[in-house]
């Protein structure tokens, strides 16, 4: 009998850019529906991560100094228990610094 239970996988990223890339991998490579994926700050502050990335980092005069670097970004995914290992691997490959499941 197949396990139809749902589990939540959580992963933290240093940058918003890495978190968004992980979401694209989950949707395109693992077939996870976008409404089952959530992105939020790991703190109570608005943040783009803990280090500059993307447009904040790629400027001729150096990284922007006004980017809100107030904490890591969490991606959480509600997925079928049978897909949990693949989701965890995908998040790790995308650059997660910590991955956990329940």
pLDDT of residue 89: 94
pLDDT of residue 60: 62
Q: What is the pTM of this model?
A: 0.75
Q: How sure is the predictor about 1, in pLDDT bands with cuts at 50, 70 and 90?
A: very low
Tens of pLDDT along 88-97? 999 999 999 9
Is it the case that residue 27 has pLDDT exceeding 80?
yes
pLDDT of residue 65: 58
- Mean pLDDT across 25-49: 84
DSSP the chain: -----EEEEEEEESBHHHHHHHHHHHHHHH---GGGEEEEESSSS--SBSS--GGGT--TT-S-S-S---S-EEEEEEEEGGGHHHHHHHHHHTT-SEEEE-
- Mean pLDDT across 15-42: 91
Q: What is the mean pLDDT of the chain?
A: 81
């Amino acid at each position: 009998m197949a396990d139809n239970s749902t589990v939540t996988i959580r992963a933290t990223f240093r940058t918003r850019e890495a978190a968004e890339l992980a979401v694209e991998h989950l949707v395109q490579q693992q077939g996870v529906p976008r409404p089952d994926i959530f992105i939020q700050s790991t703190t109570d502050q608005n943040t783009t991560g803990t280090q500059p990335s993307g447009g904040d980092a790629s400027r001729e005069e150096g990284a922007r100094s006004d980017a809100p670097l107030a904490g890591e970004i969490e991606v959480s995914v509600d997925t079928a228990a049978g897909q949990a290992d693949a989701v965890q691997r995908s998040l790790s490959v995308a650059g997660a610094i910590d991955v956990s499941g329940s």
